Amino acid sequence: MSTTLTSLEGRIKAQAFGFGFDLVGICTLGPAETADAFDRWLDAGFAGAMEYLPRGRDKRRDSRLPAPGTSSAIVVAMSYGGGEPDGPVARYARGDDYHQIVLERLRALHRWLEQDIQQPVLGRAYVDTGPLLERDLARRAGLGWFGKNTNLISPSLGSFFFLGALLIDRDLVADTPFAADRCGTCTRCLDACPTDAFAAPRVLDATRCISYLTIELKGAIPVELREPVGDRLYGCDICQDVCPWNNRFAAPLPDESPYAARPALAAKEARSLACELLAMDEEPFREAFARSPMKRAKLRGLKRNAAVVLGNIGTPDDRPVLERAIEDEEPLVREHAVWALDQIASRQSVGEAHRT
């Protein structure tokens, strides 16, 4: 749709950009077009241990249900720096937790709207935690299309962004849904996945995804998937890194961004960061990762991940930190440290055999 600053929709968009959002669109709430596909995905077991997803499946079928009385959604996207260098921690998790940042700005937009129209507005903001199919809303609001790696891709921004939605009880004029599929015949994201996590284009088996394995999975990482994890300590950007739309449009973070890497992560390569995490106690962890989304995995999960990374890229010099980890109070950490020591010993034996 065409908006002007004199229209309510135009003023909303201008204010959203003023709050730091990079994309904004409007859609009408109603039955979710992707609800059936989501149900099939759940039924196939692709959600793994993410039990919170099936709990809200009924409400996800219709975007009017999570906040009764609402009729329109203001959908926003906020970049988190796809142009930043790759590393062992996914770009989205290097700074402060996006949930709170995007949520606070959506709530500020809600307050501004009430002041602008001089009326109370029933509304509720969602950022990745409610029973909403956010990609569905974003596509309907004209922000982009579903890539073969399942991410929403914007033709002007790529895919390194967070989504949020403010549901309100006003009948706004909706934007034109994004109808085109601009992936074409490209399969770079599917081909690049180290764990073969895509059951089909636009169908992710989360139980094989490195992000799931290093964040959502609370138990042991399956042995057959540990080596493909490589040097990834938390999350994975591979399927986004190879996307031509990101190669063209992803941008570095602006100065003073809340998503800039915190000192505990900045410019650190995987091996040294893994050793630091394995040697870390709870109090230093809480201090170093205050307001970080990485706390979701807890220290035990990060130590598990660190052991896997050292098992994949570590050297005999890393044995002392792994040997100490064998005495960790968490059985999960001990198990993965033993595996890592075995991997290092195996590589050393192969190297010695080649030298003789």
DSSP assignment of 301-330, as one string? HHHHHHHHHHHHH--GGGHHHHHHHTT-S-
Domains of the chain: 1-260 (no CATH), 262-347 (1.25.10.10)
Q: Using one digit for the tens of pLDDT, what is the confidence trace for 185-222? A: 999 999 999 999 999 999 999 999 999 999 999 999 99
Percent of the chain with pLDDT over 90: 94
Task: Report phi then psi at 242, rounded to 5.
Answer: -85, -5
Q: Say whether pLDDT at 1 is over 60.
A: no
**Whole-model pTM?**
0.95
How high is the pLDDT of residue 355? Answer: 65
Token code pair at residue 50: 């993410």
Per-residue pLDDT of 268-307, as tens digits, reads: 999 999 999 999 999 999 999 999 999 999 999 999 999 9
- % of the chain residues with pLDDT over 70: 97
In angstroms, the CA 135 to CA 139 distance is 6
Determine how β-strand 123-126 pairs with β-strand 72-79. Answer: unpaired
Q: What confidence tier does 124 reach under pLDDT thresholds 50, 70, 90? A: very high
Q: Detail the DSSP E strand segments found in the chain.
A: 23-28, 72-79, 123-126, 145-146, 152-153, 161-168, 198-200, 203-204
Task: Give me 283's structure tokens.
Answer: 């109090």
Distance CA 118, CA 5 (A): 17
DSSP 3-state of 63: coil
Q: Helix or strand or coil: residue 73?
A: strand
**How do residues 12-57 score in pLDDT, each as one tens digit?**
999 999 999 999 999 999 999 999 999 999 999 999 999 999 998 9
Is the backbone of residue 268 left (phi > 0), alpha (psi -120 to 50) or beta? beta
Provide mean pLDDT across the span 339-349: 95
pLDDT at position 343? 98
Candidates 231, 317, 238; CA nearest to 271 is 231
Give me the residues paired with residue 23 across strands: 77
Q: What pLDDT shows up at residue 356?
A: 59
Q: Which whole number is the average pLDDT over 82-111? A: 97
Spatial CA neighbour of 157 closest among 14, 51, 258, 24: 24
Residue with tokens 């914007």: 154
User: Do the beta carbons of residue 34 and residue 135 sit within 8 Å?
Assistant: yes
Confidence check: pLDDT of 350 > 90: no
Helix (H, G, I), strand (E, B) or coil at 28: strand
pLDDT at 140 over 80: yes
Give the number of other Cβ atoms within 10 Å of residue 28's Cβ.
Answer: 17
Task: Please identify which of the residues 96, 128, 231, 241 carries the catalytic annotation.
Answer: 128
Residue position matching structure tokens 């929709």: 9
User: Distance of CA 40 to CAs 32, 37, 45, 146, Å?
Assistant: 14, 5, 9, 17
Is the pLDDT assigned to residue 110 strictly greater than 90?
yes
User: Do 149 and 236 contact (CB within 8 A), yes or no?
Assistant: no
Torsion angle of C-alpha atoms 285, 290, 291, 292, degrees rounded to 10: -30
Q: What is the pLDDT of residue 349?
A: 82
Contact 259, 95 (CB under 8 A): yes
Contact predicate 186/147, CB 8 Å: no
36 in active site: no
Please report, to the nearest 10 degrees, the dihedral formed by the alpha carbons of residues 154, 141, 163, 55 taken in order: -130
Average pLDDT across the chain, whole number: 96
Interval 326-339 mean pLDDT? 98
Q: Shortest CA distance to 188 belongs to which of 252, 246, 251?
A: 246
